[in-house]
Amino acid sequence: MTFSSNVLRSSKSGAEPPGGGVIQAPYPSPAVSGAGKTHEEVPVSGVSELRVALTVDDFDRALAFYRDALGLTELADWSSETGRVVLLGAGRATLELLDGAQAETVDRIEVGARVSGTVRLALEVDDSEQVARRLVAGGGEEVAGAVVTPWGDRNARVRSPDGMQLTLFTRRDGRSGEGPSLTG
């Protein structure tokens, strides 16, 4: 493996980079039209966790939605007299970057029109339709029912009580956690 700027390039030898620990794997390209492409580059950084911090107007309602209805695990409660904060576990995290054209494409596929803002949470779940129903019963609003995407996932869209849009995706072939899904 060789280093170039802040990207690690894999070699046929499979040797670990100095300092080890970087996992290399080919991932499908997030471009719908380019599905099947693989990435040979894995970014090298000191990042060990991606944490999304949501500021909400109705803390109790948001906590009931994300923890109780969605089923995220409460990992810590750091609330104090200065304010409330709870850390919820949601499995592994990735950051998916989309340009405006791709965001519009995904919204059109999942909802039929451009409706999401600059941030939309995409959550891999076992059954996107069942989880969407549970979230609506728990205070969410259905944005769109489940659809099969061009990349084969089954996606449903829900708006949380705090206004955040969630794409709930179920991988078509049941694979879970094996590299990123093409959620858009």
Helix (H) or strand (E) segment spanning residue 155: strand 154-159
Question: Using CA atoms, how far apart are residues 45 and 21, in angstroms rounded to an integer?
Answer: 11
The amino acid at residue 114 is R
Q: Which of 155, 156, 153, 157 is nearest to 173 (CA)?
A: 153
**How does pLDDT run across 153-183, given as a tens digit for each residue?**
999 999 999 999 999 999 987 555 555 455 5
Residue among 50, 84, 83, 82 nearest 67 (CA): 84
Instruction: Write down the H helix ranges in the chain.
Output: 59-63, 100-110, 128-137
Q: Is the pLDDT of residue 35 over 60?
A: no
CA distance 128 to 122: 11
For 75-123, the pLDDT digits (tens) are: 999 999 999 999 999 998 888 899 999 999 999 999 999 999 889 999 9
Pairing of strands 165-170, 120-124: parallel
Instruction: Give all domains of the chain, ordered by start, each with its CATH number.
Output: 1-48 (no CATH), 59-170 (3.10.180.10)
Instruction: Please name which of 93, 60, 52 lies closest in space to residue 162, comparing C-alpha atoms.
Output: 60
Q: What integer is the mean pLDDT of 139-151? A: 96
Q: What's the predicted TM-score (pTM) here?
A: 0.68
Residue 23 reports pLDDT greater than 50: no
Look-up of token digits 């991606």: 50
